[in-house]
């Protein structure tokens, strides 16, 4: 498949996802009124739709034949993801998401909490129609998402956070839902246990890479993030480049890095980046991204060559190139 | 069945509910750590367990034979209920629930939001293992819960709130989950559509009565509420006795009632109650409670006499007598 054709097909899948989301939000707004409209604004504000596209491709790769069978599950993943964003934004006091005012900024915190709950309910309603094995995977990784967020809070501005702590948090918070989505797609396609585990591992590796790319974009700045540059640093989140630099730097440089993290402001970006570069921490993060993406790809070798596999590889490239 | 025997059997069911909740929290704490422990403290802090007991009795009444078949669904109802309490307490800025510090008071708001999400995930995991029809009912009423909470927020300190507005909110927020639980139990018992609708209506009427009793207890004060007297008034919630009094009182009395509601403090309880009594608003609420409980009971006539029916009638009596 030519690159252009692959990109077109991924665009078509994104259009399909958006059409389904619009249709659900339209129907649900007629039933549930304001909470659906307010929540719907975030759902429909865009976003890359990487999760539902990946779920649909994983289903296809695993031998699934009926797109209608997987669509509600793909939508479920996007609703649950959006629910967690709405609640995260409250906790992070973020004012902008996907280029728009966040719900709590626009409608107040109480409605934002409830809007997130509504989005979770929708996600679970869509996902709850599948077999117990699928529901178990999803519910487990939703619970795991929450437990990782607890851990992340405990590590706010904790300069002794290790790469292992980081990986544990990221596996739960970002990568787990990717892994669960891909495995769930395999289960729905009635694929073998081995195939489901390959899909799970693929999703986990992709998810880790995805978070690492986010870490870099937050530091370097990128309008596609839909939120201000440096948000993670302002929130005291220990991202991998920071953790790496805190480990590698010594003496005055480490002291200065700690000061910058504790009292961050926009004027400190250049100094922060030169410290991170001194420790080669951005390059190190780039290498890690490459490693995780390669490990993700290895899991695809298990499956026969097909269009879905080609498209997943292109999706991986798209994720990788976000930080360039 | 003698009264004492009925009460003993309801106590036994509550013990069974508590044992199951303890077992789930224990298992999940081993997997999810702090978030499960923190959330578990609220789940295990007590509570009347009216919802899961009602679900189990509805299943029995509908001809269900295997208690193990209904237990996860009963637990699911209690987890979702607890999740909504945790998020409500943040929005209401409540410091005490079930006689304990609320999660946000003890661990901060961010963890409270996430703990609620964890409880929802557990609830959906437990409920998601049933047929699509059951999941649909539950997910619909969870979404409805959220939409009613939006409406309730819009009516905070809105003195023009009508009894119809009130009923709409209560049906979504309190009674809908009761109705969905009872109907879900009927579906799980593979009962007829008609029987499921009777159970639904039973739950809805019970739920409305339950909320009206809560409204009275909030005004009169009752240590069993596990939260301070007058919480609803401090939060600006339009409860039925208040709505009724605002409708029935005129001139200076209505002006004074409005003043009291807008600037409530504990020293105003006596004056508030005398205004409510002048409008017969507390008696009116008691009559409404009686009416809804009677309408609930009529739905039970559809079912053959059996122990479950007797016990449900006793449960209704327990609810009724909470305000005495």
Domains of chain B are 3-321 (1.10.600.10)
User: How much of chain A, in percent, has pLDDT values that exceed 90?
Assistant: 91
What integer is the mean pLDDT of B295-324? 90
* Nearest in space to A161 (alpha carbons), one of A213, A215, A207, A201: A215
Q: Which helix (H) or strand (E) holds B74?
A: helix B67-91
Whether B150 and chain A come into contact, CB under 8 Å, resolves to: yes
| E strand residue ranges, chain B | 96-97, 100-101
A285: pLDDT strictly greater than 80:
yes
Residues of A in contact with B115 (CB under 8 A): 146
Q: How many CB atoms lie within 10 A of CB B18?
A: 17
Cβ distance B32 to A143 less than 8 Å, yes or no, reads: yes
User: Are B237 and B158 contacting, i.e. CB atoms less than 8 angstroms apart?
Assistant: no
Whether B111 and chain A come into contact, CB under 8 Å, resolves to: yes
List the 250-309 stretch of A: residues with Cβ below 8 A of B.
none
Distance CA A90, CA A104 (A): 6
Distance CA A60, CA A206 (A): 18
Q: Is the Cα dihedral A256, A262, A265, A266 positive or negative? A: positive
- Three-state secondary-structure class, residue B97: strand
Cβ distance A143 to B28 less than 8 Å, yes or no, reads: yes
List, for residues B169-204, the tens digit of each pLDDT value.
999 999 999 999 999 999 999 999 999 999 999 999
Residues of A in contact with B117 (CB under 8 A): 83-84, 87, 116, 120, 142, 145-146
Tokens read off for B271? 């004056």
Phi, psi of A100 (to 5 degrees): -120, 165
Helix axes A109-127, A34-43, angle to 10 degrees: 80
* CA distance to A58, A104, A213, A319, B127, per residue, from A313 (Å): 11, 37, 17, 10, 36
Cβ distance B114 to A149 less than 8 Å, yes or no, reads: yes
Q: Which residue has the tokens 């570069």?
A: A277
Whether B133 and chain A come into contact, CB under 8 Å, resolves to: no
* CA distance to A127, B70, B113, B267, per residue, from A42 (Å): 20, 36, 19, 44
- Cβ neighbors of B27 (< 8 A, separation 6 or more) are none
Supply the pLDDT for residue B324: 47
Whether A188 and chain B come into contact, CB under 8 Å, resolves to: no
Q: Which residue of A139, A157, A172 to mutate against B (max B Cβ within 10 Å)?
A: A139
* CA distance to A161, A286, A298, B114, B150, per residue, from A295 (Å): 25, 14, 5, 31, 45
The shortest CB-CB distance from B146 to any of A121, A142, A143 is to: A121
Distance CA A61, CA A312 (A): 9
Give chain A's mean pLDDT.
95
Distance CA A119, CA A49 (A): 16
What integer is the mean pLDDT of A286-297? 96
Tokens read off for B27? 């298992």
Q: How many contacts (CB atoms, under 8 Å) link A and B?
A: 162
B114: pLDDT strictly greater than 70:
yes
B97: pLDDT strictly greater than 90:
no
What integer is the mean pLDDT of B205-211? 97
Q: Which helix (H) or strand (E) holds B55?
A: helix B50-61
Supply the pLDDT for residue B323: 52
B92: pLDDT strictly greater than 70:
yes
List, for residues B59-90, the tens digit of each pLDDT value.
999 999 999 999 999 999 999 999 999 999 99
Cβ density class B173-183: b for 16+ within 10 Å, e for less: bbbbbbbbbbb
Distance CA B158, CA A275 (A): 56
Prediction pTM value: 0.95
Least confident among A186-200, B35-49, B131-145, B217-231:
B217-231
Residues of A in contact with B84 (CB under 8 A): 117
Radius of gyration over every alpha carbon of chain B, rounded to an integer in angstroms: 20
Whether A120 and chain B come into contact, CB under 8 Å, resolves to: yes
Which region holds residue B251: left if phi is over 0, alpha if psi is between -120 and 50, else beta? Answer: left
* Nearest in space to B85 (alpha carbons), one of B103, B63, B67: B103
Tokens read off for A193? 């246990």
* Nearest in space to A47 (alpha carbons), one of A184, A210, A197: A210
Q: Which residue has the tokens 């009216």?
A: B50
User: How much of chain B, in percent, has pLDDT values that exceed 70?
Assistant: 98
A324: pLDDT strictly greater than 50:
no
Supply the pLDDT for residue A323: 52
List, for residues A209-261, the tens digit of each pLDDT value.
999 999 999 999 877 667 789 999 999 999 999 999 999 999 999 999 999 99
List the 47-106 stretch of B: residues with Cβ below 8 A of A.
83-84, 87, 90-91
User: How much of chain B, in percent, has pLDDT values that exceed 90?
Assistant: 91
What integer is the mean pLDDT of A167-175? 97
* CA distance to A8, A309, B214, per residue, from A2 (Å): 10, 13, 66
Bigger pLDDT: B145 vs B226: B145
């Amino acid at each position: 498949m030519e690159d252009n054709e692959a990109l077109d097909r991924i665009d078509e899948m994104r259009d399909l996802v958006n059409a389904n989301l619009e249709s659900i939000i339209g129907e649900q707004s007629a039933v549930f009124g304001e909470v659906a409209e307010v929540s719907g604004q975030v759902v429909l504000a865009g976003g890359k739709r990487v999760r539902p596209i990946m779920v649909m491709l994983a289903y296809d790769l695993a031998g699934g034949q009926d797109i209608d069978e997987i669509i509600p599950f793909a939508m479920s993943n996007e609703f649950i993801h959006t629910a967690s964003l709405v609640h995260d934004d409250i906790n992070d006091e973020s004012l902008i998401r996907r280029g728009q005012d966040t719900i709590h900024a626009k409608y107040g915190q109480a409605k934002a909490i409830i809007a997130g709950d509504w989005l979770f309910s929708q996600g679970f309603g869509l996902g709850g129609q599948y077999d117990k094995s699928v529901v178990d995977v999803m519910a487990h990784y939703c619970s795991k998402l929450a437990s990782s967020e607890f851990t992340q809070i405990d590590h706010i501005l904790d300069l002794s956070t290790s790469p292992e702590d980081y990986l544990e948090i990221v596996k739960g918070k970002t990568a787990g839902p990717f892994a669960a989505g891909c495995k769930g797609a395999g289960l729905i396609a009635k694929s073998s246990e081995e195939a489901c585990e390959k899909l799970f591992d693929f999703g986990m590796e992709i998810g880790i890479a995805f978070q690492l790319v986010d870490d870099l974009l937050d530091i370097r700045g990128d309008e596609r993030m839909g939120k201000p540059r440096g948000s993670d640093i302002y929130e005291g989140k220990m991202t991998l480049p920071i953790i790496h630099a805190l480990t590698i730097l010594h003496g005055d440089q480490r002291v200065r890095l700690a000061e910058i993290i504790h009292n961050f402001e926009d004027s400190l970006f250049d100094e922060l980046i030169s410290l991170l570069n001194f420790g080669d921490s951005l390059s190190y993060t780039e290498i890690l991204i490459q490693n995780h993406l390669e490990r993700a790809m290895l899991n695809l070798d298990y499956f026969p060559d097909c269009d879905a596999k080609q498209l997943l590889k292109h999706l991986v490239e798209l994720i990788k190139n976000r930080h360039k």
